[in-house]
Structure 1
Amino acid sequence: MRWGACARQVSRTTVARNYHTTANPVIEIKNASFYQNYPAANEPHGSNAPLLERLSFSLSGDNDSGSGQCWSIVSPSSVARTTVLQALAGQHICIPPHARSYPYLSAISQSPQHAIKYVGFDAERGNNVGGTSVRGAYLSARYESRREETDFCVRDYLTGHTELNALEPDSSAEDSHAFDEITKQLNLIPLLHMPVANLSNGQTRRARIAKALMAKPEVLLLDGPFMGLDPNTLRTMSEVLKQIAVKQHPRLIMSLRPEDGVPEWVSHLVVVDEHSRVMAQGNKKDLQSGGDSGVLRFVNAAEHGDSAAPKVRLSRDGFQQTSPPLPPGEALVEMRGVRVAYGSKVVLGDWQQEVGNDQKSGLWWSLHRGQRCAILGPNGSGKTTMLSLITSDHPQTYSLPIKLFGRSRLPGPGQPGISLFDIQRRMGHSSPEVHAFFPKQVSLRRVLESAWADAPLAKPKLNEDAKRRVNACLRWFSKELNPKWSKETPYERLSSEKDETTARKLHEEVLADDTDLAWASQLTFRETSFSSQRLLLFLRAVVGSPDLVIMDEALSGIDEAIRDKALLFLSHGENVSNIVDNIAQPSMLARIGATVVDGLSPEQALLVISHSKEDVPGCIREWICLPEPGEGKQPRIGKLAGPLELNPAAWGEIWGQ
């Protein structure tokens, strides 16, 4: 059952429940609405819509171990999850102003800004670790052996020693004890001398939580702590957060996606739908026994998994349970014994791999036209390093036995080396790192047009076909990208039209006048939501129909409905409008022969990195799973009979479970 249907089953009477504690509440919100800008009495209706309406919430001030509350904000919308947490932290304008208060903090003379720490795990809120930029200045900096003065180690980061020519920190015995306890609790002691820029996703997450804990907050807000973690790291992270929740120092509130499931140690829930409406809140057990079990069954489904494949004919992106792969064409990427090391530390290829009938050192792997492959493995296993060799961001690409599109980076006998610009023109790449470094001042149209440029800010080289493809993507996702979307435009009327003759006339109107896309030139990347930004960068990777499309956690954190639409578009373009009753519905554009973007072609290859099976496209048919770092085991390689959605047992097989 989908999220919207489940959420609507929830009794709205639970929203108004009151929660009383013997101590002053740490956070108390009574029937408040929250706005980005202060609402004026005479402003037009809808010009400053509330971010969140009629929120009531109370966090107990009782912090005795084992008796306190641990809340989770559960929603399919990344915007809704973040908005609730930010409202709790004192952000956004509260109407009426007195509806949000912090009685316990007032009693102990602490401000919310110091007593409540927010840690987010996405491109906008999570990449400048804790607000202090410790990343390299450019995408490939993390792979270089040379260390800059600003490449601070984990110890410096946690102790705040991140200034150039900084004085030695004057730490007390109490601070030193807290440091030792926190680094031990989060298993950071072996990483204390490692540059923060070199940490894996899971390691960075633990470091950022440790940084927040070092400030000794009363409340810790974690936005999406399980997003982007492999199954093993997720279990470890869950255990760490459980320890924090039990100790109640600090009190823990975290946001979860429905597919994350609700850990058993979470005591209370706030359930928010995709429209930022609070549907239910309260004690998890009370909700379960009070008629709200539909929501709990939904959010727990991913936690426990399904023992059998769903009895449906198509996946959400239009693939049958058993569907054969395309025949492979020429090799686009070839690795023949790749081994990446920094001094004595090997980060990729530290194994003997069976190749034919022989055992050979290093990584042996190739990707061909027509193949749809996933690179999987635990956090820190070398996936990002492997991908950086493919995109040529890694300096060792020059010296290793790697061929990209049939050529090496360095020239050989009778063959020139392939340039970085040649590689970029033939690859479409979307990832959280691309998101972090992408210029925020460009327009939405320019984001997509940069697929034909040597760099995001360089002038794109567009022909008529490229312009049509950009327009097609903007129109197909106008509802998700345009904050002032209207279903009254000719294109939207065309999309919902049933008569083909009328649809052709509307299509002529669309082609004759592109003023319906003016918003795409006026709105900047910075002004859009996180989910819209991720969607734009995904579209940038596919719009130019490159030889190789790379999706590295490209859809992580994106809203569920948008993610499903993006996956459908990836494989079918404008040809399929949606899946209804497990049947692919051809779009009106396909029926009148007016499609421009047709999805992945047999000449293209797709490479995906993901830790969430929901983000893996249904067209993936091959996978390579890298081993745990330091094990010395060779990677496991396998094939899928069909989409993971309809073959859920395959996910456990991939991870050796």
Structure 2
Amino acid sequence: MRWGSCGVARRSLNATARLYHSTTAPVIKIENAAFYRKYPGVNDSPSTNPPLLEGVNFALLGNDGRDPLQSWVVISPSSVARTIFLQILAGQHICIPPTARSYPYLSTISQSPQHAIKYVGFDAERGSSVGGTSVRGAYLSARYESRREETDFCVQDYLTGHTELNALERDGLGVDSHMFDKVTRQLNLRSLLQMPVANLSNGQTRRARIAKALIAKPEVLLLDGPFMGLDPNTLRTMAEVLRQIAERQQPRLVMSLRPEDGVPEWVSHMVVIDEHMRVLGQGTKQGLLGGDVEASDKVEVHRILNAGENAHGAAAQVQVSRDGFERSSPPLPPGEALVEMRGVRLAYGDKVVLGDWKQSVAGGDKPGLWWSLHRGQRCAILGPNGSGKTTMLSLITSDHPQTYSLPIKLFGRSRLPGPGQPGISLFDIQRRMGHSSPEVHAFFPKGLTIRRTLESAWADAPLAKPKLNDHAKQRVDACLRWFARELEPAQSEPTFAQRLETTTSDEAARELHAHLMGSNTDLDWASKLTFREAKFSNQRLLLFLRALVSQPDLVILDEALSGIDEAIRDKALLFLSHGEKVSKVVDNIAQSSILARIGGTVVHGLSPQQALLVISHSKEDVPGCIREWLCLPEPGEGREPRTGVLPGPLELNPGAWGEIWGR
């Protein structure tokens, strides 16, 4: 077995057997099973059809009021491992042997797993539409248009299942009104019921999808990363809602978390999986925290379960952030303004969604949002879910139609022409901005190859032909080589970077570098593998690199690293600021790469001529180069936004996070 020894299997089987000692049959029962994406054939090999997980043992007890309460969490640094484990519980993926996965309790109540188990994931594929139907609009800017289409259903329609144009196909006739009222109040959705789902923020969409699952009254609710993308205040509310669900056991709750999320105190059981898809341990939280795992796995389990505490406790000793910035590092001097907002107030009829306040400007109070972003600035836009962050970005990217009529200048020009000055075109804006977000991910063409995905940064649209010169091609090649292991994990040969690391001298490294630059055969995979075939985390990484690779004047990262694996995220953040110049940070020292030593770097990271704009609800996803921040107020409060400057990377100034959020 790939994930562990026979001893580990016996230990897991014994633990599972103890769980089976129950007054009722398990809802989900898995005994020593292996799982595959496609059925293993005679001619398959571990390289062509590898198992997703092997030796899986799991038991989720039924709920008859006499069994001990169970609330499970699957915790892993790998987003792929977390998602696959929950999908396995939901009945997805091929089980070998087929009888190793069963649902005994569901059989006794004559329910199928498809109806009794609700899986709610938040990746781009499932999140592009709130509920699997195309209710989020056909293109990115559709959500901001005043004209409503027949398919622009409101939140109430979505929650009650009225999202089919054919009335005979509606499935919401059996919605329990009491349950509907209870769930919508619990998740603070009452005020949003008549809002088109296309207008929901990411956090609001997340709450709506959980509400729809709860209204269906499932026996088991599987939540994949329920806390990602939530602001601190909404996160606390969501944690309390999930605690109440776990205590009532209606439904049984199994959720996945990142190690840095921490494990809520009300969680009773855990499954711990490492980055290599090995199940290291499972059982009660107290047992795993107390070291009740195989001796060979204790160190790894401790590392994963204590990731958040370890990072916080070590902050005082660390002098350099994980992306190579010292604790105290001042911001760059600002250059010319790239974005100017002079009293922006955006409303739909009587409802103001941005700028419903007065700001102190030049000694007086003026209505609307007054804000600017300059070359060299690295700024974070923060605020509660629904406060207008995404709307503000849509004005900057010109996806919002009201960009034409509001007092906004982009790169020194308005969208509409003025006296003696032409307006700036959409194509000019796109050429000068790099943008990555969950919305871009949802609408991005999945059939493009990995190489064409990056090359599309030089095109007017992703499917248009890119205009590449030699330097642009070199930058694409550099990004592909630097992240070859992450973007093509199936390759067994050493990557370009790994081969350079093993050279005996700088001269040998120069010769190897020159040889590979002349052949490019090490990048053949990038012209064969498609965006669709890449894993979710790798897709996010690709769009992150696409936003950087053309060296635009303004880089916009809107939750760009949400859901990405921790190790890939840290490498991406290091690349954002330093490019190929820095390979890693070890013992408080940013290590120069071999490429930098031999003069072979092509991508140097953000330049002083570029500006960076970041939106994130997770402090771990905020780049260490961020110095300025703008925090929008709660919607409807009328308070002006708060602003501030960080003395250094947020990672090494943890108290600043509470200051930003007013805590």
| Secondary structure, aligned partner of 1:483 | coil
Match of 1:352 in 2: 358
Written as runs of structure 1 = structure 2, the 5 A alignment for 1:614-629 is 614-629=620-635
Match of 1:129 in 2: 130
Deviations 1:119-153 (A, max 9, x none): 10111122222212210111111112221111101
Q: Is the 8 A contact 2:161 2:172 kept in 1?
A: no
Deviations 1:160-207 (A, max 9, x none): 111225269697787222222222222222211111111122221111
CA separation in 2, counterparts of 1:310 and 1:33? 44
CA separation in 2, counterparts of 1:300 and 1:194? 41
Match of 1:153 in 2: 154
Match of 1:4 in 2: none
Deviations 1:527-563 (A, max 9, x none): 1100010000000000001000000000000000000
| Residue identity matched to 2:606 | L
CA apart distance, 1:493: 1.0
Q: Is the 8 A contact 2:118 2:221 kept in 1?
A: yes
CA separation in 2, counterparts of 1:197 and 1:143? 8
Deviations 1:549-599 (A, max 9, x none): 000000000000000000000000001111122211111111100111000
2:407 pairs with 1:401:
yes
Q: Residues 643, 13 of structure 1: CA spacing in aligned structure 2 closer, same or farther, 3 A cutoff?
A: farther
Q: Is the 8 A contact 1:12 1:279 kept in 2?
A: no
Match of 1:545 in 2: 551
Q: Residues 13, 606 of structure 1: CA spacing in aligned structure 2 closer, same or farther, 3 A cutoff?
A: farther
CA separation in 2, counterparts of 1:84 and 1:109? 25
Match of 2:392 in 1: 386
CA separation in 2, counterparts of 1:339 and 1:527? 42
Matching residue within 562, 568, 578 for 1:556: 562
CA separation in 2, counterparts of 1:234 and 1:305? 20
Match of 2:578 in 1: 572
Match of 1:233 in 2: 234
Q: Is the 8 A contact 1:14 1:282 kept in 2?
A: no
Match of 2:57 in 1: 56
Q: Is the 8 A contact 1:65 1:246 kept in 2?
A: no
Written as runs of structure 1 = structure 2, the 5 A alignment for 1:479-558 is 479-488=485-494, 492-558=498-564
Match of 2:608 in 1: 602
2:148 pairs with 1:142:
no
CA separation in 1, counterparts of 2:315 and 2:91? 44
Match of 1:89 in 2: 90
Written as runs of structure 1 = structure 2, the 5 A alignment for 1:290-369 is 290=291, 295=301, 299=305, 302=308, 306=312, 309-369=315-375
Q: Which moved more, 1:429-438 or 1:250-259?
A: 250-259
Q: Is the 8 A contact 1:33 1:54 kept in 2?
A: yes
CA separation in 1, counterparts of 2:124 and 2:609? 32
CA apart distance, 1:298: 5.3
How many residues are matched? 650
CA apart distance, 1:347: 0.6
Q: Is the 8 A contact 1:64 1:248 kept in 2?
A: no
Q: Is the 8 A contact 1:408 1:418 kept in 2?
A: yes
CA separation in 1, counterparts of 2:362 and 2:67? 56
The CA RMSD measured in Å over matched residues stands at 2.2
| Residue identity matched to 2:444 | F
Give the fraction of aligned pairs with identical amino acids, expressed as a percent: 74
CA separation in 2, counterparts of 1:228 and 1:304? 23
CA apart distance, 1:655: 0.5
Q: Is the 8 A contact 1:495 1:589 kept in 2?
A: no
| Residue identity matched to 2:508 | T
| Residue identity matched to 2:108 | A
Q: Is the 8 A contact 2:272 2:281 kept in 1?
A: yes
Q: Is the 8 A contact 2:431 2:552 kept in 1?
A: yes
Match of 1:3 in 2: none
CA apart distance, 1:652: 0.7
CA separation in 1, counterparts of 2:121 and 2:642? 33
| Secondary structure, aligned partner of 2:545 | helix
CA apart distance, 1:291: 5.0
Match of 2:447 in 1: 441
CA separation in 2, counterparts of 1:538 and 1:66? 47
Match of 2:211 in 1: 210
Unaligned residue ranges in structure 2 (runs of 5+): none
Given the two structures, how large is their TM-score scaled by the length of structure 1? Answer: 0.95
CA separation in 2, counterparts of 1:83 and 1:632? 44
CA separation in 2, counterparts of 1:251 and 1:155? 25
Written as runs of structure 1 = structure 2, the 5 A alignment for 1:35-46 is 35-46=36-47
CA separation in 1, counterparts of 2:470 and 2:35? 45
| Secondary structure, aligned partner of 1:129 | coil
Q: Which moved more, 1:179-188 or 1:30-39?
A: 179-188
Match of 1:187 in 2: 188
CA separation in 1, counterparts of 2:637 and 2:367? 14
| Residue identity matched to 1:562 | I
Matching residue within 613, 635, 656 for 1:650: 656
Match of 2:428 in 1: 422
Q: Is the 8 A contact 1:450 1:458 kept in 2?
A: yes
Given the two structures, how large is their TM-score scaled by the length of structure 2? Answer: 0.94
| Secondary structure, aligned partner of 1:526 | coil
CA separation in 2, counterparts of 1:311 and 1:201? 36
Match of 2:225 in 1: 224
CA separation in 2, counterparts of 1:149 and 1:366? 38
| Secondary structure, aligned partner of 2:213 | helix
CA separation in 1, counterparts of 2:131 and 2:343? 38
| Secondary structure, aligned partner of 1:505 | helix
| Residue identity matched to 2:519 | D
Q: Residues 166, 32 of structure 1: CA spacing in aligned structure 2 closer, same or farther, 3 A cutoff?
A: same
Q: Residues 302, 146 of structure 1: CA spacing in aligned structure 2 closer, same or farther, 3 A cutoff?
A: farther
2:264 pairs with 1:258:
no
2:378 pairs with 1:372:
yes
CA separation in 2, counterparts of 1:327 and 1:390? 22
CA separation in 2, counterparts of 1:63 and 1:204? 33
| Residue identity matched to 1:351 | W
Q: Is the 8 A contact 1:315 1:645 kept in 2?
A: yes
Q: Is the 8 A contact 2:76 2:304 kept in 1?
A: no
Match of 1:450 in 2: 456
CA separation in 2, counterparts of 1:148 and 1:637? 38
CA separation in 1, counterparts of 2:9 and 2:108? 33
Q: Is the 8 A contact 1:370 1:604 kept in 2?
A: yes
Q: Residues 588, 168 of structure 1: CA spacing in aligned structure 2 closer, same or farther, 3 A cutoff?
A: closer
| Secondary structure, aligned partner of 1:484 | coil
Match of 2:475 in 1: 469
CA separation in 2, counterparts of 1:118 and 1:587? 43
| Residue identity matched to 2:420 | G
CA apart distance, 1:43: 2.7
| Residue identity matched to 1:628 | E
Match of 2:81 in 1: 80
Q: Residues 248, 53 of structure 1: CA spacing in aligned structure 2 closer, same or farther, 3 A cutoff?
A: same
Match of 2:30 in 1: 29
Q: Residues 446, 346 of structure 1: CA spacing in aligned structure 2 closer, same or farther, 3 A cutoff?
A: same
CA separation in 1, counterparts of 2:180 and 2:522? 56
Q: Which moved more, 1:169-178 or 1:361-370?
A: 169-178
Q: Residues 286, 345 of structure 1: CA spacing in aligned structure 2 closer, same or farther, 3 A cutoff?
A: same
2:276 pairs with 1:275:
yes
| Residue identity matched to 1:444 | I
CA separation in 1, counterparts of 2:126 and 2:502? 38
| Residue identity matched to 1:533 | Q
CA separation in 2, counterparts of 1:172 and 1:124? 27
Q: Is the 8 A contact 1:242 1:265 kept in 2?
A: yes
Q: Is the 8 A contact 1:490 1:509 kept in 2?
A: no
